[in-house]
Structure 1
Amino acid sequence: MTNMQKALFIKEIGKPLTLDTRPISSPKEGEVLIKVNATQVLPHDTASRDRGLFVQGHLPAIPGHNIAGIVQELGQNVTEYSIGQHIYGQGEAVAVIPDSSGLQEYATLPINMSAPVPEGFTDDQMATLPINATTTFCALFLQNWLGFPAPFSTEAKTFDYGKEKLVIVGGGTNCGKLAVQLAKIAGIGTIVSIASLSGEQNLRAMGATHVVDRHSDD
């Protein structure tokens, strides 16, 4: 493996990304180096390029922090993974040095922000999971949002999820599907998903009790 790689950089705020090269990073203790197979580009990445969100003051930067790929090298004391293992995870969006960014050929990932790719799932699917799952979990279970107790919390022991009703607008989106599944895990009694009826069977299998056609005028 060469010690240089291609990457897409934000070099100037408000300008297109620039293709250039940079050294391949070595993983630190508690990290692994992966060959990047897929990266999810999110709205905050666009805001980084256009307005400098997270990256103002430490350019050049590399977008993309939800990553899936193959382990190439293990950092010191890493025993959780092996070379050649298929993993996914979330890099650091506010890092000064973009070693864990995804729009490059190789990236480092902290082991505490990564997990093995389950059998039967694609890189594209797993690269959508870290931030979408975090966002959905926060929306459902943080006190200042919808405020359902998290299923593993002390409050959950006395909370009657079965009496609760949840309406999910955009139930066919990635976050919408995750919301259905997390609500099902929590035991919420009525889960209404507003989505295209073409996905009704899939949404009901995930846990939706009702699917409302998003094209309906009612």
Structure 2
Amino acid sequence: MFTGIIETMGTVSQIIEEGTNLHFIIASTLSNELKIDQSVAHNGVCLTVVSLTEDTYTVTAIQETLQKTNLQHLKVNNKINLERCMQMNGRLDGHIVQGHVDQTGVCILREELDGSWEYRFKYQAEKGNVTVEKGSVCVNGISLTVVNSTDDEFSVFIIPYTHEHTNLHEVHVGDTVNLEFDIIGKYVARLIKNNHIS
């Protein structure tokens, strides 16, 4: 379980192919605090630490994960948002995030405003995911508030701190991002759909 509050960014230092899997070696200031089998969210994707050095650690993404996320587009030297799993005795500063990406979306607007940035994302509505005004959504693992919600698009406004301390500053129009929709909204949408069928 995660909160969507990014701890730091890591850098992809090496990518190793093994069959249909990709092993990502990540350089990060968190490396010396991690342990084998620990869960870490990478752009919102929960992956397990499989090996460690003093300055790097390795995680593995299987084909299923690669097909459903933007991890397949990562290249060496790319920045990646990192968050360790939440502690039960800590504050939930973001929202409940599972680290299971629902689908990807595409950035269709990036506009610098006077002191903030607006990003707008488009996604495939037929997958059944929804956003609501002032609700929560996770973009590349970042807990954000939805504005201007439609059936297949939504916007978020980014403060300077978030823009600087996450990889959103590297996201441009046409880029693919990972989306995890609010877990409560997903359950409500499923209940409504089932009631319409029965």
- TM-score after normalising by structure 1: 0.28
Structure whose residues are more often helix by fraction: 1
Q: Larger C-alpha radius of gyration, 1 or 2?
A: 1
- Ranked by relative contact order (alpha carbons within 8 Å, sequence separation 6 or more), the top structure is 2
Structure whose residues are more often strand by fraction: 2
- TM-score after normalising by structure 2: 0.30
